[in-house]
Amino acid sequence: MTNQSNPLLCDVETGMCEVPDTNATTGSLHTAAIDKPIKVIYYTDPICSSCWGIEPQLRRLKLEYANTVEITYHMGGLLPDWSYNSGGISKPSDVAHHWDEVSAYYDMPIDGDVWLEDPLSSSYPPSIAFKAASLQDEAKAIKFLRVLREMVFLQKKNITKWEHIAAAAEQAGLDVAQLKIDYEGKGKELFEADLLQGRRLGVRGFPTMIFSNGVGQQQVVYGSKPYSAYEAAIAQLYPQRKAGSYSKNWKDLFAVYATLTVREYAELSGTPRADAEKALQALEQQGLLNRLTTKNGSLWMLK
């Protein structure tokens, strides 16, 4: 089967990882009343490299607009299987070099060698696992998704394997036994519902963030965009919005987010990128931080 677009060949110019056309029809978004004035439907995928690329902006958005924006995560089904041949990618090993290039472009550590050493057959298993996790606790499910991404992007782990899914769940504080039950049952139904809604809304690539307000107005931000694009979407829908303040102290940032890349730390602390890396290195030398090093960058965490 040959498709016009390749889901794993993400376009760094648009910041999108696109799925093949599945006769998607653009629909309107109807939401129930919510406490926060802006609701965001975020379509993503555990192995979407462009989604990993917007983690710095997304984490800042959650801090500055915690009282304004409510974000719900939905899975898009980036890689059903390998039954296609397009865009110069026809097998897992073809993805390795592309991921290394994307890593440099987004300044987020990604080691493409997972596609050479232990390639994934699909992104559906970790997607279903996320939906199963959301049945327990939404916040823990988001932590779980972050751990899965760190596993595949930095640790070269095949996150379709239950052993890695279970380890990520335990790290996120989830009930692993219950996750297994939901993974084999309700999680699949919720994932299919996400795919159906995505088609109805015309979602073709990831990340896609659909912003809406209480009167049905929408702004859609496609692909990896600078932080200003997300702020502009909020401003269009909620002119009286005001960014909240938060502590930019390194210890407080790590208290909120257990792991940070240099790019993330720079975004959240408002520090120039070069200075951010020096600051993290100094904290490591003082014995306050640990570092996971990959060939394309590092991840930092409290010691």
User: In which region does residue 270 sit, left (phi positive, over 0), alpha (psi from -120 to 50) or beta (all else)?
Assistant: left
Q: What is the pLDDT of residue 26?
A: 38
CA atoms within 13 A on the CB side of 217: 11
Query: Exposure string (b/e) for 112-145, b if CB count within 10 Å is 16 or more?
Result: bbbbeebebeebbbbbbbbbbbbbbeeebbbbbb
**CATH code for the domain of 80:** 3.40.30.10
What is the C-alpha to C-alpha distance for residues 292 and 215, in angstroms, rounded to an integer? 45
* Tally of domains in the chain: 2
Pair 179, 35 in one domain = yes
The answer to whether residue 2 sits within a structural domain is no
Cα separation, 282 vs 47, whole angstroms: 32
**Residue 189 is which amino acid?**
E
**DSSP for residue 144:** H
Question: Do 254 and 197 share a structural domain?
Answer: no
Distance set, CA 131 to CA 34, 51, 139, 141, 282 (Å): 21, 17, 12, 8, 39
C-alpha to C-alpha distances, 71 to 65, 212, 292, 293, nearest whole angstrom: 11, 11, 29, 30
Quick one: 150 and 271 in the same domain? no
Separate counts of helices (H) and strands (E) for the chain: 13, 9
Say if residue 22 is in the same domain as residue 171: yes
Rounded to two decimals, the pTM is 0.91
Residue 6 placed within a domain = no
> Is residue 169 located within the same domain as residue 294?
no
Coil, strand or helix: which one is 290? strand
Q: Which of 205, 231, 265 is the last residue of a domain?
A: 205
Name the DSSP class of 120. Answer: -
Tokens standing for residue 152? 């595949």
Structure tokens at 297: 């960058």
Nearest to 53 by CA among 219, 261, 282, 199: 261
Question: Which structural domain range is residue 279 located in?
Answer: 250-302
Strands 38-44 and 218-222, sheet pairing: unpaired
CA distances in angstroms from 134 to 66, 176, 302, listed in the order given: 20, 13, 26
User: What CATH number does residue 267 fall under?
Assistant: 1.10.10.10
Running along the chain, 303 residues long, what does each successive block of 10 average in pLDDT?
Answer: 55 72 43 74 98 98 97 96 71 92 97 97 97 98 98 98 98 98 98 98 96 96 97 97 96 98 98 98 98 97 96
Q: Specify whether 30 is located in the same domain as 169.
A: yes
188 within some domain: yes
Helix, strand, or coil here: 204?
coil
Same structural domain, 199 and 255: no
Q: Is residue 7 assigned to a domain?
A: no
Q: What is the pLDDT of residue 7?
A: 67
**CB within 8 A of 245, min separation 6: which ones?**
none
